[in-house]
Amino acid sequence: MPAVGTALRKAALSAGVRAVASRSFIATSLTSSPSLASPTARGYATTSQAAPTPPAPAPTMSQPVFSLAGKLVLLTGAARGLGLVMGQAIVASGADLAMVDLNKEETETQAKIMVETFKAKYPDQRIPRVTAHYANVADESSVDACIQEVLAAQAEAGAVSPNDITINGLVTSAGFVENVPAVDYAPARLRALWAVNVDGTYLFATAVARHLQSRQEQQRASAASADASASAIAELATTPPASMVLIGSMSGAIVNVPQPQAPYNASKAAVRQLAASLAVEWAPSGIRVNCLSPGYMQTPLTQAILAKQPALRQQWTNGVPQGRLGVPQDLAGPVVFLLSDAAQYITGADLRVDGGYTII
């Protein structure tokens, strides 16, 4: 390792901080996925060539334990960025998908593309139902209305009653990040960021949990009226099992300095703790809750930044032990895994997809 890199790394480790390469303003729209923590460059340097970015894998039908066939997943922030890629992976794994975003028109377009892509790749498989919905994740009435619309739309597509539809999975990908000094960050802007990143996550998680718990009560009542056995009724306490994946960020566990993003870091730390707390509270209902925390991801936002500041690419990459920035497809496997039955005994976890960035 170069002497300069070694010295910088030792200094960074001893001080317990991470040196940041840029203080440029970074913001995403309210509907985009929380892409990555602010650009940083630490004193970690690789001596070998950077690992090549893997090509986007072609979607394939999963092995049964990883399959999402027969499940309905609701995804917020679904129209673009990381949310869109995760949605593509969910559909490729066989699930029905309810795509939720502020931009319903764009969401409808992407929903059609997903269905056509699936038909082309899996002509002999059942075609997943993919529906598009509007919601302001920060507004409770909008969230509740969206849940009812999802159930109605999926029921209509499947020619069944809305009472027969169960949301088996939730992925909360709506959010945004801004880099502004704390002393200059207006309280109104702080409340807006918190409303989307934290309140939006909480509102959708609790709305889906109420839906699931209500379905369980209905099933228990139906079983009791049919004189089902006590063991059969008790089994309904944890069925249907459901999984929630709350999208956090590695910035919920580390502090990027000196780049100012205290409100964003705090919001993602809240999401991480929310996932852990809800996991414990809802475990008796069979609801698993985990946090998925991306690191540096080459989203359209970051690509635009790198186009203006090309030197940042190497600076960012030098801080990642795997020697490359992430691509959105790196989240495809993890999100499908956490939603699937393969992760039945995993709840309250924070899965960081960061190429090892936060472990050094």
Q: Which residues are catalytic?
A: 249, 264, 268
147: left (phi over 0), alpha (psi -120 to 50) or beta: alpha
Direct distance between the N- and C-terminal alpha carbons of the chain, in angstroms, rounded to an integer: 15
Cis amide leading into 258 (omega within 30): yes
User: At 335, which helix (H) or strand (E)?
Assistant: helix 332-339
Euclidean distance between CA atoms 48 and 316, whole angstroms: 15
3-state helix vs strand vs coil in the chain, percent to 5: 50, 10, 40
Residue 326: strand pairing partners? 297
Query: Could you give the angle at the alpha carbon of 289 between the alpha carbons of 284 and 292, nearest 5°?
Result: 165
- Residues 205, 142: contact at Cβ < 8 Å? no
Longest CA–CA span in the chain (Å) reads 76
Euclidean distance between CA atoms 31 and 99, whole angstroms: 12
Cis amide leading into 240 (omega within 30): yes
